[in-house]
Structure 1
Amino acid sequence: MARITPGGAKNAIAVAKVVAPAVIPVVTPYLIKATGVLRERWDRHKARRLGIAVGDLAQYTGHGGALHARISGVATALADLPEPDRDTETRLRQLAAAVRAAERMPASRRRAAHKAVDAELDAVEERLLRQLGV
């Protein structure tokens, strides 16, 4: 196994100083394109995980982004009902306000608040599915 010596390190740095100015202009456009492709894939993955369109991803940021997406989805489904339940609409607005308020809480309190909102959303979704006959 070859050891790195101070002289070898100096030689490697000298070679890098000569080669880098020629390589960087050639490689940079490919790196920029690769970064863009990776970002697009990450955004599609995140949007798919949240169940939203990629264009709507910016609306659901922060620690409570997934909960906001769920609340929005339930609100949309509720609006599609022939007779929307006003109590549920009010509850969804309250849950959205709780998630927004939790953004500024310390991490442990925020997680507890998100867990409570998640449990309440489960109950709201269950009632909605019953109303839809599913």
Structure 2
Amino acid sequence: MTTKTALFAYAGTFLTLLICDGIWLGLIARNFYRDQQGALMLPSPYLASAHLFYLFFAAAVVVLAVLPALSAGSIATAFVHGAILGLAAYGAYDITNLATLRSWPLAMSLVDMAWGTALTALTAAGGYFAVRFFG
């Protein structure tokens, strides 16, 4: 893999992640999360923490989903590997919260895990397409 390929993979992955999650959190599910988390939710998120998550998670998606998909020459590999990674990452967060936090809503965990699975699959596909079309 060349540096150019890696950069296009990361850029496509990162931008897809930001756009999709921005639409989800900012428009589609904003009220859902607020209603589910209630007083646990901050009035506004700590953006530095959010930025760190997006930077690191995009790198993980590239390594664990986009690069295997490029090697296989298969968008299906990007979707499947991305979905598995998303379910594992979001599942670890949500299931741990169910196990350790008082009154953590089951509905919140189920919706968030489904979203994490779909988001990461789409994100991996975005990285794959960025390399195929621009790299």
User: Normalising by structure 1, what TM-score?
Assistant: 0.27
The structure with more helix, counted as a fraction of residues: 2
Query: Greater relative contact order: 1 or 2 (C-alpha under 8 angstroms, separation 6 or more)?
Result: 2
TM-score by length of 2: 0.27
